[in-house]
Amino acid sequence: MSGLSEATASAPALSGSEHHDLTDGRAFDALPPLLPGLAYLGAALSGNPGLVLGPGGGPQEPWVEQEARRLLVAERAVTPIEPLRARHPGVTLADAYRVQWAGTALRIADGARPIGHKVGLTSAAMREQMGIDAPDSGILLDDMVVPSGGELAVGELVCPRIEAEFAFILGRDVAGEAVDLEAARSSVTQVMVALEVIDTRYQGWQITLEDSVADNAACARIVTGPPVAFGPGMDLREQVLNVRVDGALTATGAGREVLGDPLASVVWLARRLAAFGTGLKAGDIVLAGSVHGSLPLPAGARVEALCEALPPVTVQTR
């Protein structure tokens, strides 16, 4: 975590979990088993979620939608709530994803449109900072997007932090448990630098993996730089992202910090979605995950992420 601000380095660890190196192939073999038959996910991503189904194909348990609504109310009221696991101590990772997708359904009903996915907790710095030892994923919606160079109102967020990462645009579908780095590479047509604003609707970032997943992997806003063509020989592992806040270098990290290769996030995500009988679609944006620990995001700050090989991305907060 060299180059991070003191505030970032001292951000609270949120659990006592043991941290594992997820940069080798074992990361893809260690996905926790999830409930089968959740056809709702594919429907949600198509923009037509319909009924949220339970694990047996019947109606969803009422508490799932209740928790999704609780999170949505907390976000709109800018008021944190008690974490999911505090109210449901036995909640599973599969349950948490169901809460996430129920929340997606509510947003789609309000007019939002799915545009892709984020993968989170992919770097050792982020896993150490959050005290969570496995990646997670969330769904990106069009109402989360802030244009590069635009303004972001931090007063609309509960406890915002910001991080720089690589983002991909897919040119073709990619799905299945056998997806590998070669398949991921061939599916990507464009790449860009992105800033992700993470936020928790749960109190003070005292969260577990299940809490993070239920809260859409803490995704609040995304700022994307200009995309460029992703050539077959492009290697992002050694490309360094530098984050400047009001002109001062505040964080830095190379692509290899993200599961060894940012493309590995596409692999992880495709395999994760395969557990639900769906996958990534042509046109999807995939945020690969931060290369550094997240930074506090105050009002009145200009944040810029730069990379030698790609155009920069900037945002001004108010």
The amino acid present at 205, given as its one-letter code, is W
As a whole number, mean pLDDT of residues 219-233 equals 94
**DSSP character string of 125-160:** HHHHHHT--S-EEEEEEGGGEEETT-EE-GGGSSS-
Residue 27: what pLDDT? 36
Lowest mean pLDDT among 65-69, 162-166, 230-234: 230-234
Each residue's pLDDT tens digit, 35-50 = 333 444 444 454 444 4
Where does the pLDDT of residue 126 fall: very low under 50, low under 70, confident under 90, or very high at 90 and above? low
Nearest to 195 by CA among 129, 289, 263: 289
136 pLDDT exceeds 90? Answer: no
204 pLDDT exceeds 90? Answer: no
Torsion of CA 158, 139, 291, 1, to 10 degrees: 40
Residue 32: what pLDDT? 35
Higher model confidence: residue 171 or residue 18?
Answer: 171
pTM of the model: 0.82
Query: CA–CA distance from 46 to each of 64, 149, 258 (Å)?
Result: 21, 30, 28
Where does the pLDDT of residue 194 fall: very low under 50, low under 70, confident under 90, or very high at 90 and above? very high
Strands, sheet with 302-307, edge to edge from the N-terminal-most edge strand: 151-152, 310-317, 302-307, 240-245, 248-254
Each residue's pLDDT tens digit, 245-278 = 999 999 999 999 999 999 999 999 999 888 877 8
Dihedral sign, Cα of residue 141, residue 119, residue 17, residue 126: negative
First-residue to last-residue Cα distance in the chain: 27
Task: Give all domains of the chain, ordered by start, each with its CATH number.
Answer: 6-31+113-317 (3.90.850.10)
Higher model confidence: residue 98 or residue 250?
Answer: 250
As a whole number, mean pLDDT of residues 60-65 equals 81
Residue 130: what pLDDT? 63
